[in-house]
Structure 1
């Protein structure tokens, strides 16, 4: 029986999402015979966690579905045991990278990767708490429908069942390494207000995530496409393409990876940085590993916290850190794409040492481009006025720290990549350590 990990990291109240993802787990078990380890990594406050526990305790029992609801204390215990067993140097640094005190989109998924290894899962399927499933003919449209059949299998086997194959013949013997789709609804990055206030400023700010040497027409196309997902058209019928998946066509709320990917390379553990969890999409694409791109898009929505007096500057900081991170990530993505099949060993698995080398190489880049980015953000936000200008004032104070952190985030990522094989091996050897398989 195929054991999979269906994972939901959350730091907010999401009772409806918990009920919905349990229904997807049941669908996977009942329609595909999967052994589903439903993993909820809960970083919310005590009251919210208690409500989540109550909701999950009330869910119907389903054969083939095992629920794991872990708060941060339980996650920390698991990590400490795993790091200790791995006998790695500087264990406190590793624990900090795996469970930092600040928001980290990569770190929460990395914890899921290790727990999936501990549970003996063949794949990990990630969802988000600020999203929901579409309905078609009154039934939820579950992405796992396309994720389960082919992950880890030779791509050639998928050609008979997908709608379309857009894969070079020489890649058909490689394993299907990811399956994913995007979202419909609100922008994935909550900057719609900027566009409503001033489309010119919106263009200036969003274009900053492009490489600095791109021509204006290419930046304009990027701005038009950025953070829009699959638009707003609802699901009507299944379509699935076997291809080397374009990272711009997949969202991390709607993705599944084969274990051969995430057990080799973790996500960057950067804190307060949106987009840092998309690294593996670029890795799979650069290496030429096949994937399934389908159209069971998830509905995205924004929680109001991001627009409160405390949530607004925190979210804008994450956005600015994303812009600064791209100096380094664009370099690494370009190097991975140029390396192509050279990223893979004879078993078509990623060579971690190549990725580490590209990461470390990027940390020597000139920061001038990031200084320019901060200057452009400052000008743009002051033009918007109000709380954007207030944020620009704080940004001016934090410039040096942000520039340093953008670089040290990459150094941390390289350190974690080097430690990752030992951590995965330790997690697999120990299991959860609480009597559960």
Structure 2
């Protein structure tokens, strides 16, 4: 029987979300006759973790659904076993990259990839703790419906059932590698107040995330669309587009990937950096792997923690790191975009070695370029004033280590890429002992 992994990473209180995602798991198992492994990766503090243990214990058992709730100690034990069995060099470094002491959006999803491999799953379906489902006709609108309908199927077989098809020539025999939707509600990145306070500074900051070379009119369009999701769109019926999916059109709280994608290429394990977890989505798009974009958008909201002074500063620093990291990531994507079909082997699978080469080459970059980019970010935050000035002060005080850490993050990504397939192969007999 087909087995899939529905994963919810969290480091905050989200008992209601656990219950809602468990309901989605039950829907997937019941409607599609699959086994759904609900995987909760929990990095919450002790009191919140205990609340989550109670929430998981209170879930109604459902045929075809298994629940795996792992705290960081349990995750570390699994990773240590896998790293040891992989025979990869420096397993301690791999363990640190996959389970760092600081927040990493990429690393937690990489852990989910490895655990999904261990569970024998053919796909991974990712949700977030700061999101909810839309409702239609009194029922929740579950993205897993579109994900299980399309993922892994031959693209040519879906042309007649999709609302629209924009498959590139020659890609019809490839399998659907990615299915995703977006979000409605608050912006995914907490920069709405910057846009309201100073639209020009907002455009300058967000513009740093875009690749160079776009005509100004297109840059303006991309800046306006960034982090906006689907706006206030209300679900009133299914719409699907069969095509390579642009990472700007979907959100990581609402995406599913076939295992043939993530068993070959991981996500950058950069710490305290938003956005780097979208790398694999861009890679699948550049390789012209078929995908399905749908309109079962999830409702996004910002937790109260982000509104505190400490939460605000931490998040803005993660955004600044993202803008620094994008200089490297955009260099990689410029090459993957140019490579296109050459990113795939004879079986239409991603070539890990090619991606590794591009990431390594991105490190050949003059330090002055990064310093200039950081100076632009500092100046923008200082112009905003108020508590944004504290962000600028912090960036100035941490200038040298910050630049070094961003560069090291890309070197770490290259190291993880070099050893990723050894890790995924080692997962097959690692097993999980924590289940319900």
Same fold (TM > 0.5) = yes
Distance 1:217 1:138 in 2: 42
Q: CA deviation at 1:53?
A: 1.1
Answering whether residue 91 of structure 2 is matched by residue 96 of structure 1, we say no
* Contact 1:327/1:369 (8 A) holds in 2: no
Answering whether residue 65 of structure 2 is matched by residue 65 of structure 1, we say yes
Relative to structure 2, which stretch is displaced further, 411-420 or 212-221? 212-221
Instruction: Give the aligned partner of residue 110 of structure 1.
Output: 110
Instruction: Give the aligned partner of residue 396 of structure 2.
Output: 396
Answering whether residue 322 of structure 2 is matched by residue 331 of structure 1, we say no
Distance 1:170 1:223 in 2: 32
Alignment of 1:354-369 (within 5 A): 354-369=354-369
Instruction: Give the aligned partner of residue 260 of structure 1.
Output: 260
Instruction: Give the aligned partner of residue 12 of structure 2.
Output: 12
Q: CA deviation at 1:382?
A: 1.4
Q: CA deviation at 1:16?
A: 1.0
**Matched residue of 2:391: which SS?**
helix
Instruction: Give the aligned partner of residue 51 of structure 2.
Output: 51
Q: CA deviation at 1:155?
A: 0.9
Q: Deviations over 1:329-361 (max 9, x none)?
A: 111111111111111111111010000000000
Instruction: Give the aligned partner of residue 152 of structure 2.
Output: 152
Q: CA deviation at 1:366?
A: 2.5
Distance 1:50 1:415 in 2: 35
Instruction: Give the aligned partner of residue 431 of structure 2.
Output: 431
**Matched residue of 1:82: which SS?**
helix
Distance 1:95 1:421 in 2: 15
**Matched residue of 1:310: which SS?**
helix
Distance 1:100 1:310 in 2: 20
Relative to structure 2, which stretch is displaced further, 141-150 or 363-372? 363-372
Relative to structure 2, which stretch is displaced further, 212-221 or 289-298? 212-221
Distance 2:251 2:296 in 1: 12
* Contact 2:136/2:236 (8 A) holds in 1: yes
Distance 2:90 2:434 in 1: 29
Instruction: Give the aligned partner of residue 189 of structure 2.
Output: 189
Distance 1:168 1:197 in 2: 42
Q: CA deviation at 1:2?
A: 1.2
Structure 1 unaligned blocks of 5 or more: none
- TM-score normalised according to structure 1 size: 0.97
Relative to structure 2, which stretch is displaced further, 128-137 or 384-393? 384-393
Answering whether residue 247 of structure 2 is matched by residue 247 of structure 1, we say yes
Answering whether residue 318 of structure 2 is matched by residue 318 of structure 1, we say yes
C-alpha change, 1:168 and 1:205, in structure 2 (3 Å) is closer
CA RMSD of aligned residues (A): 1.4
Number of residue equivalences:
436
* Contact 1:164/1:241 (8 A) holds in 2: yes
Relative to structure 2, which stretch is displaced further, 301-310 or 209-218? 209-218
Distance 1:251 1:152 in 2: 20
Alignment of 1:31-430 (within 5 A): 31-430=31-430
**Matched residue of 1:112: which SS?**
helix
- TM-score normalised according to structure 2 size: 0.97
* Contact 2:68/2:434 (8 A) holds in 1: no
Structure 2 unaligned blocks of 5 or more: none
Q: Deviations over 1:94-118 (max 9, x none)?
A: 0000000000000000000000000
Q: CA deviation at 1:192?
A: 1.2
Q: CA deviation at 1:36?
A: 0.2
Distance 1:268 1:64 in 2: 32
Q: Deviations over 1:20-59 (max 9, x none)?
A: 1001001001100010000000000111111111111111
Distance 1:435 1:23 in 2: 20
Q: CA deviation at 1:307?
A: 2.4
